[in-house]
Amino acid sequence: MARGTLEIGRPAPPFQLAGTAGDWSLTAAPGTPRVLYFYPRDNTPGCTTEGRAFAAGHAKFRAAGATIVGISPDSVESHRKFKAKFAFPFELLSDPDRRVCELYGVIREKRLCGRKFLGVERSTFLIDAQGVLRQEWRKVKVDGHAEAVLAAVKAL
């Protein structure tokens, strides 16, 4: 499946999604860097670890002026439970039709127990205060990832 029309140094594709605190759009935090992290599913080991890592560094991201949002195809209700269970201090956005996942090119063929399926490839995007895509991480390995993203935010 082809990636979205993303290019480092170009404006990030705009979108609006329902989330744990209502509708959220990419332009919701103008003048601040935005960290969008796409993850496969709520309440799975890797996704929980990743969310907890971003939560642990949340105060440092805020001090650097950045807004973090997590995005997956799960429902808003699933996100609310996931967010409450782990006290995530940032919003989780629901993309049930995978429209934004497609826009950002994170839908990939995956394999599990010998079967192929299309799913979300763990990916993160750093968008600067002017709405320009500055960095992307694909096929994210969770360990140390939040720290690497924070370093990139601080380098803006």
Average pLDDT over the chain, rounded to an integer: 92
Average pLDDT of the residues in 136-146: 94
Tokens (6 digits) for 39: 């993850």
**What are the structural domains, with CATH classification, of the chain?**
36-155 (3.40.30.10)
pLDDT band at 41 (very low <50, low <70, confident <90, very high): very high
**pLDDT tens string 80-127:** 999 999 999 999 999 999 999 999 999 987 777 777 868 899 999 999
pTM confidence score: 0.92
**Average pLDDT over every residue of 144-155:** 96
Interior CA angle at 152 toward 149 and 156, to 5°? 140
Res. 2 pLDDT band, cuts 50 70 90: very low
Tell me what the mean pLDDT of segment 140-154 comes to.
Answer: 95
- The DSSP bridge partners found for residue 92 are 70
Give the three-class secondary structure for 96.
Answer: coil
Query: What would the pLDDT profile of 15-27 be if each residue is shown by its tens digit?
Result: 999 999 999 999 8
Which of 86, 16, 21 has the alpha carbon at shortest distance from 47? 86
Q: Which residues are catalytic?
A: 47
